[in-house]
Amino acid sequence: MKRIRKIALSTSVCTLGLLGTLCAFVYGPVWYVVNVPTHPAIDETRVGMIRELKAQGLVPGKTVDIDIESDGGNLISVQKIEDSKAKKLNKIHVAIGTSIAQSVKKNMSPESYLVFSSVTDPVGAGLIKHAEKPEGRVTGVSNAVPAYPQLKFFHTLYPKMKTIGFFYNPAESNSVHVLHDVQSAAAKLGLEVVHGVVNTPKDLEAVAEKMSKVDAFFSSNDNTVASEFGDLIREGDKRKIPVFTSDTALIKYGALAAYGVNQHEVGRVTALMVIRLLKGESVANIPMVTVSEPNRVLNDQKAKMLGLTFDPETLKQVDKHWPEGWFTDFKNWIKNLF
């Protein structure tokens, strides 16, 4: 009989409904804790990880158990989950997102391992002390992208942009780190940043409505904002101003452009780290990895809606267009579910 190895996969949010049913059917034992809306970047990271595990011969439900836990945007709930579970179970925790990774590290048993994934600032978040030389039983994958090239790309697409409305949850240390980076980059480009505090997903629409004197909206890798990104799009559409994002998975919801990493690749690299740990390799030999190769994506439909046109030199900076260029990615994603 093959030994079934256990991995706990913790995410900031998790796909439910029909997709949750499909996951349980296809992947074997999958445990959902909280009924929450989907978060595209988290989903892509998780799918990328599971796909790579399968490619390496670790089939969920057969040769490996994966419990998927979710905080639903509520850190208190995940702390309760980890208080009751993490201290009791000796296994590998994969935590997707900063807040939940912090909670898992705080509560996991001394015999467990933590592989964080899609974390912008692991050192600042207190997950590790040194990126090159992990200590203890924690390592992982960062999705950090510097703010300066992002803002420069967005400004090239939309030269009218002088003032940016930036949305973030101060409870997410990664978002505070990004805010400072955005402010520094904006100053170099002669741009002004107006920041809007979004404590819960329900706050997003009201905060956006109050930003009456900005030329564009911008959201980086903030889980709170991403979970209700449609509210930001609707407010931008009302004013006919663009919405920019660091999350390429959100382009299909109506952002004009995205500059960020491939979250599927983040998940794939995370899986490779997990496999190395399962083979008995020491954390000290598995340094943190930053998946930093950017994807610059332009939403052609939104550009048309806003009446924007671009010269050939500007378009040379674009790596992908929505919807063209994404159909194959979407087909592969659906294929992977089954």
> Domain coordinates of the chain in residue numbers?
5-144+262-290, 147-261+294-325
pLDDT over 80 at 129, yes or no: yes
CA angle (214 as vertex; 212, 220 as ends), nearest 5: 115
Q: Could you tell me what percent of the chain has a pLDDT over 90?
A: 53
**CB within 8 Å of 22: residues ≥ 6 apart:** 337, 338
Structure tokens at 222: 């903030």
Q: Is 237 helix (H, G, I), strand (E, B) or coil?
A: helix
* Mean pLDDT on 18-46: 44
Q: Is 146 helix (H, G, I), strand (E, B) or coil?
A: coil
Q: Which of 186, 196, 250 is nearest to 221 (CA)?
A: 250
How many Cα atoms occupy the beta-carbon half-sphere of 65 within 13 Å? 14
* Mean pLDDT on 151-178: 96
> H/E element holding 180?
helix 173-188
Work out the pLDDT band at 8, boundaries 50, 70, 90: low
3-state helix vs strand vs coil in the chain, percent to 5 = 45, 20, 40
Q: Are strands 92-96 and 138-142 parallel, antiparallel or unpaired?
A: unpaired
Matching CATH number, 147-261+294-325, of 3.40.50.2300, 3.40.50.150, 3.40.50.11540, 3.30.460.80: 3.40.50.2300
pLDDT value for 278: 83
* Mean pLDDT on 225-240: 94
Structure tokens at 44: 């892509």
Q: What single letter denotes the amino acid at residue 209?
A: E
Structure tokens at 226: 């991403």
pLDDT value for 242: 98
**Top-confidence residue, 148 or 67:** 148
pLDDT over 80 at 218, yes or no: yes
The pTM of this model reads 0.80
Residue 61, sorted as left (phi over 0), alpha (psi -120 to 50) or beta, turns out to be left
* Mean pLDDT on 108-126: 89
Instruction: Express each pLDDT in 45-78 by its tens digit.
Output: 888 988 998 898 877 667 666 666 555 544 444 4
* Residue 163 CA, distance from chain mean position: 25
> H/E element holding 26?
helix 17-27
Other residues' Cβ atoms within 10 Å of the Cβ of residue 209: 13
Q: Is 338 helix (H, G, I), strand (E, B) or coil?
A: coil
pLDDT over 50 at 3, yes or no: no
pLDDT value for 62: 72
Q: What is the dihedral of CA 230, 236, 240, 244, to 10 degrees?
A: -90
Instruction: Express each pLDDT in 272-311 by its tens digit.
Output: 998 898 888 999 999 999 997 889 999 999 999 999 999 9
- Where would I find the beta strands (DSSP E) of 154-224? 163-168, 192-197, 216-219
**Top-confidence residue, 259 or 213:** 259
pLDDT value for 38: 53
For the ranges 99-113, 197-211, 299-313, the lowest mean pLDDT is seen at 99-113
Same fold, 5-144+262-290 and 147-261+294-325: yes
- Where would I find the beta strands (DSSP E) of the chain? 5-11, 64-70, 92-96, 113-119, 138-142, 163-168, 192-197, 216-219, 243-245, 257-260, 289-290, 295-299, 320-322
pLDDT value for 32: 26
Return the top range by mean pLDDT from 23-27, 102-106, 273-277. Answer: 273-277
pLDDT value for 325: 57
pLDDT value for 37: 38
Residue 336, sorted as left (phi over 0), alpha (psi -120 to 50) or beta, turns out to be alpha
* Mean pLDDT on 241-249: 95
pLDDT value for 67: 64
Work out the pLDDT band at 254, boundaries 50, 70, 90: very high
Give the homologous superfamily in CATH for domain 5-144+262-290: Response regulator (3.40.50.2300)
